[in-house]
Amino acid sequence: MGMGTEWPPTPAQQRKAVVSAGSALKLVLFVILAGLALRLLVGPPAYLLPPTAAPEGAARLFAVPERERTAGGGGGGIPSVENSRLQRGDGGVRLTTSISLVVRLSFSTSCMERWPETDDAVFTLTDSEPLTALGKKEGSTKPEESCDLFHGEWVPNSSGPAYTNASCRFIESPQNCMTNGRPDTDYLNWRWKPYGCEVSPFDGKKFLDGMKGKHWALIGDSILRNHVQSLLCLLSKVEDATEVYHDDTFRSRRWHFPSYNFTISLVWAPFLVKAKIFEDDDGVSTADLQLHLDVLETDWTSQWEKFDYAVISTGQWFFKTAVYWENGAAIGCHSCQNKTLEERPPEYSFRRALRVAFQFITSSPHKPVVFYRTWAPSHFENGEWFSGGTCNRTAPFKPGEAGDREWDNSMWRIEREEFHNAVPIGGDRLKLLDTFELSLLRPDGHPGPYRAYHPYEKGVTAKVQNDCLHWCLPGPIDAWNDVIMKMVAKD
């Protein structure tokens, strides 16, 4: 052969080349495996690590009751707690609670279509699996999308409140703590900081620009009325609303922002279901409440098609003495004098009322965006409303200071369970405004004795009524609107 022509390899040379290549491949694989082994020995990868303990102040500090107290049958799907255990993580204690909820969706009501007939639907709620405001497990890789707005801490805020008792005319007297003479002001200088993200202050101009031609309704009890005052004060920095309606008691009202054609309605429905109430403005009753647990209050359902957005909540009224009705018959009562009726706990009526309300919302052809705002805890100490309870704290709770709040936790658990069972039917337009933790950490935010004008003018020994349930304005519940603004902006 001529110059430059290569001879083909012999069979022996071919075998030698294959052996050499195989040896090289084995060497590469060995190096890779050795590296992985070294990585595991030095420190396991993230996906093998045990779950870490929550930052201080997280919701798992609040124990969930081992079982919901009920009396008698007829609960229609009352949940049971399978197990509750403390699990040691990295540097702290982690509460893991598994709750199995069995709900018969065939529960009949007299005011609406029933939910679809199915077998028992089982929902398991585990604290170690956080749920977003839409009721879905967090799984986004984007920090802002996966941030849980409802678990965090209160941090100092040097900028102070967004408005004052002098700049807002919508603060009603029992919540106007500064005008009523509250001497301390530190409670005004905190802001809510979720773990892992920020919540910007409420932007009234941005909110109104996005809500032109819309109608918001806030439906519930006096805590919702408190909430409306906060919202009106925040918006008054942009435009002062005009009141266009009120009922005879001024409990249901409506305001209009003419420059934006934006409407806010406050609808009085303290139980959401039909109720006959026999008490005055100070809460003194002349007869037992009569609650029809299978019939909704028409003051809000009759207006439902007008609303583009609704904030709904109920709560503390369920602790009052009441007779419970279903299908036109008295089926039990709570703390009533009629010994012939079966005693049933507040959890029973609370769950029934929520279930009927969610059934209406999810079955209605009209689909506004609905925020269900969770339980607003009280902070009475040394008694309750009628037994001399007070709330004299001047700073937020530190982690662990809230103590054992069995009733609050029980009611909070019920509403989350009922909400999450409604979400598969209600879809993304049904949202959880879970303000329980941020509210629980603020025992300093209530009027206390300053629900009345200068209560100690006649001396510090004067007997005064403390309000440890409603909230001073400005105050902690302004953060409820900050969070709503964040949720609306994300949509």
**How many C-beta neighbours within 10 Å does residue 490 have?**
14
Q: Single out the residue of 478, 44, 485 nearest to residue 226, CA to CA.
A: 478
* Contacts of range 102-108, beta carbons closer than 8 Å, 24 or more positions apart: 102/77, 103/76, 103/77, 103/421, 104/76, 104/77, 107/76, 107/77, 107/355, 108/294
What gap in Å lies between CA 39 and CA 262, rounded to an integer? Answer: 60
Find where tokens 């109720």 sit: 275
184 is catalytic: no
Find where tokens 């009106």 sit: 232
3-state secondary structure (DSSP) of residue 237: coil
Catalytic residue among 127, 467, 478, 482: 467
Is 150 in contact with 437 (CB distance < 8 Å)?
Answer: yes
Catalytic residue among 378, 470, 478, 482: 470
Q: Single out the residue of 188, 170, 178 nearest to residue 232, CA to CA.
A: 170
Ordered DSSP codes for 122-134: EEEEETTS-B-TT
Q: Single out the residue of 112, 192, 183 nearest to residue 157, CA to CA.
A: 192
Q: Single out the residue of 487, 410, 353 nearest to residue 70, CA to CA.
A: 410
Is 216 in contact with 306 (CB distance < 8 Å)?
Answer: no
Ordered DSSP codes for 62-79: SPPPSS----SS--SS--
Provide the β-strand partners of residue 311: 218, 371
Q: Single out the residue of 230, 279, 298 nearest to residue 483, CA to CA.
A: 230
470 is catalytic: yes
**In the chain, what are the helix, strand and coil shares in percent, each to the nearest 5?**
30, 20, 50
Residues in contact with 13: Cβ distance below 8 Å, sequence separation at least 6, in sequence order: none
Q: Pairing mode, if any, of strands 273-276 and 289-296?
A: antiparallel
Is 289 in contact with 336 (CB distance < 8 Å)?
Answer: no
Element (H, E) at 144: helix 143-146
Alpha helices (runs of H) in 178-292, residue ranges in sequence order: 204-210, 222-235
Catalytic residue among 221, 222, 379, 434: 222
Instruction: Give the type of residue at 26.
Output: K
Catalytic residues: 222, 467, 470
